[in-house]
Amino acid sequence: MRSPAISRSDAVTVTRQGCPMGKGRMIWVWLVVAATVAVAGCGSDSSEAEGSGGPTKLTVGVGAGPFVAPLETAQFSDAGFDVTRQNVTSGSVAVPLVLNGQLKFSQADAVGALTAISKGVPLVFVGSVTSTGATADQDSTAILVKPGSGLKAAADLKGKKVGVNGIGGAAQLAAAAAIDKLGGDSTKVEFVEMPPNSLTGAVADGTLAAAVTSRSEGQAEGLDPIIAPTAEAMPSAPLIVWVTSKQYAEKNPEVVERFAAAAEKANDELAHDPERVRKIVVEKATAKISPELAKTMALPQFAPTTIQRDRLQTVVDLMVQYKVIPKPIDLDTVLVAS
């Protein structure tokens, strides 16, 4: 079956504020490239001071919801960091701040970051935040539908509108690959970009036939999961990663190595304390999750390892197959402290 070019405007016809949705991901990538040029001469050139006896002060970009969990452990302070958190809502917000030195590290969607790197943006991956589930039961995301819709399998999504949080991002890539793997045809699916907190409501009111979003939050809103997209398409692969600028990594290798080690220890702590993660997910969720659902919901996979190259290569290969990027990326230029 022919793989669709999921980031091209001819693959998606819906609009956001009057702009072709298929261009959304590419627009932010080119804005980031422009930002790279703009900050090339004004980014911080100094390395972090060492040996002062005090902690290393860092401002770090953190996503919404449960992704704050690693920073709520004591691992970063134990490693000698004084961390200030800054909420980042998307890669288009985080990456320019990383490049100009306002953020030393930030969480980022692995697919979005790889797309930016393919366009020449000087980012490197420092470590893993969360990974995709290895099985459907471990997949915290889902393609969700309204009960009674008659949509039960991948083939049923032909000609339907399926919502994602970003065209050309991880959600659409995983959904397209999973639909094709399970006997559907993703070229016949109309992917629609919407803000994450609007997806379940759009399915409930019929604006969308389905959406790719948090399985637990979708179920809390009464929706039914029919496909576990990331487990089907890219099991145990990096989903959210820590990134920094190539310049910062080259000038501060000790800080980067120490940060990566703290991130790995934080994930190990979370991986061995699922009840703590469950509590954070419920507290940070945008939908009210019942105690019953909380007990059985799939949790974010805080993988207690460095980024596994072969798993990341699977993501890169899918991105090439689905024409999110034009050619493979040399991961030797992307991975540090791994």
Q: Are residues 127 and 141 in the same domain?
A: no
How many domains does the structure of the chain reveal?
A: 2
pLDDT of residue 6: 65
Whole-structure pTM value: 0.82
Is residue 293 a part of any domain in this protein? no
At 286, is the pLDDT very low, low, confident or very high (cuts 50, 70, 90)?
low
Tell me the three-class secondary structure of the chain, residue by residue: CCCCCCCCCCCCCCEECCEEHHHHHHHHHHHHHHHHHHHCCCCCCCCCCCCCCCCEEEEEEECCHHHHHHHHCCHHHHCCEEEEEEECCCHHHHHHHHHCCCCCEEEEEHHHHHHHHHCCCCEEEEEEEEECCCCHHHCCEEEEECCCCCCCCHHHHCCCEEEECCCCCHHHHHHHHHHHHCCCCHHHCEEEECCHHHHHHHHHCCCCCEEEEEHHHHHHCCCEEEECHHHHHCCCCEEEEEEEEHHHHHHCHHHHHHHHHHHHHHHHHHHCCHHHHHHHHHHHCCCCCCHHHHHHCCCCECCCCCCCHHHHHHHHHHHHHCCCCCCCCCHHHCECCC
Domain boundary among 186, 209, 231: 231
Spatial neighbors of 28 by CB under 8 A, at least 6 apart, are 90, 91, 92
pLDDT of residue 298: 83
Domain boundary among 187, 204, 231: 231
Average pLDDT over residues 152-163: 99
- Whether the per-residue pLDDT at 152 is higher than 60: the answer is yes
Q: Are residues 211 and 86 in the same domain?
A: no
Is residue 186 a part of any domain in this protein? yes
Higher-pLDDT residue of 62 and 30 is 62
Q: What is the CATH number of the domain that holds 175?
A: 3.40.190.10
Q: Please provide the size of the chain in residues.
A: 338
Q: Are residues 162 and 108 in the same domain?
A: no
Is residue 16 a part of any domain in this protein? no
Q: What is the pLDDT of residues 72-98, one digit of tens each?
A: 999 999 999 999 999 987 777 889 999
At 337, is the pLDDT very low, low, confident or very high (cuts 50, 70, 90)?
low
Average pLDDT over residues 292-319: 88
Q: Residue 300 corresponds to which tokens in the numbers above?
A: 């974010």
Q: Are residues 243 and 219 in the same domain?
A: no
Domain boundary among 186, 205, 231: 231
Residue among 148, 147, 284, 134 nearest 216 (CA): 284
Type of residue at 86: Q
Contact between 19 and 335 under an 8 Å Cβ cutoff? The reply is no
Orientation angle between helical segments 110-118 and 91-99, nearest 10 degrees: 60
Q: What is the pLDDT of residues 32-63, one digit of tens each?
A: 444 444 444 444 444 554 445 789 999 999 98
Q: Are residues 124 and 29 in the same domain?
A: yes
Contact between 303 and 267 under an 8 Å Cβ cutoff? The reply is yes
Quote the domain boundaries for residue 100.
25-44+52-132+236-285+299-333
Return d(Cα 309, Cα 299) in angstroms, integer.
23
At 64, is the pLDDT very low, low, confident or very high (cuts 50, 70, 90)?
confident
